[in-house]
Amino acid sequence: MQLIKGTSITLYTANSTETVDNVLIGEPNAGGYTLGIPKGDTHDWTDRKIGFFGEVWRTVGTPVQGIEANIPLCWHKKVRVEPLKITGAVTIYSAQTYSRQQIDGAFYTDLRGETVQRTGAQSTGSLIVHLYCVNNTYKPQIGDTIVLGACPVEIDTTSEQAVSAGMAALRAYAPSVIRTVTAEPIGIAPDYNIEAR
């Protein structure tokens, strides 16, 4: 196993970034890498967004004890990382409270407006969104409204008229209603796959 010693890794948190030095990176395997965590490191590596080689990655699950037999004892835990495919931010509005949740770093495919042939019948395409657990703290619900990008509209809930005005302003951003939400276990917290129309 070939390793790159002493590599700096960027750990992302909600409000900042932090550099961790002296991290081992194993050779590529199945589209990802295994990282060797330095002994004595106290950072939380569970389901984290990280950066190295000019790319954004995420750790999968919790670090485990044990490193390859040929690795010096300066590293004692390992964690698997995989690429974080990101196309942009999404904004979700709760169907119950109209509260706004902006989620940066989502991966989406917008097939709305496209016609798909299925067994001779035509159906309109959907907005498909993948929310990574490392970027998301909100569990989307069926019936919630989703908008691509960082939508600035805040919906005032003090009256029905105010809600109607907020929803009218939201229509300018091409919103879709979430039809399905599927949790995909990946680590401690799940990713979410969303279909909206």
Task: Specify the higher pLDDT residue, 105 or 140.
Answer: 140
Highest mean pLDDT: which range of 80-89, 127-136, 156-165: 156-165
Instruction: Return the top range by mean pLDDT from 25-34, 74-83, 116-125, 153-162.
Output: 153-162
Confidence band of 32 (pLDDT split at 50, 70, 90): confident
Q: How far is the C-alpha of 89 from the C-alpha of 103, rounded, in Å?
A: 6
Is the pLDDT reported for residue 40 higher than 60?
yes
CA distance 49 to 187: 13
Q: Which carries the bigger pLDDT value, residue 129 or residue 75?
A: 129
Would you say 160 and 105 are in contact if contact means Cβ atoms under 8 Å apart? no
Report the amino acid identity of residue 186: I
Residue 1: band (very low, low, confident or very high) from pLDDT cuts 50, 70, 90: very low
Percentage of residues in the chain having pLDDT higher than 90: 42
> What letter would DSSP give residue 124?
E
Q: What's phi and psi for 135, nearest 5 deg?
A: -110, 0
Q: What is the per-residue pLDDT for 184?
A: 87
Q: Which residues pair with 88 in a beta bridge?
A: 106
Residues 84, 63: contact at Cβ < 8 Å?
no
**Cα separation, 186 vs 136, whole angstroms:** 13
In contact, 53 and 35? CB cutoff 8 Å: no
Encoding tokens for residue 155? 């919906």
Contact of 13 with 56, CB cutoff 8 Å: no
Distance (Å, whole) CA 49 – CA 133: 9
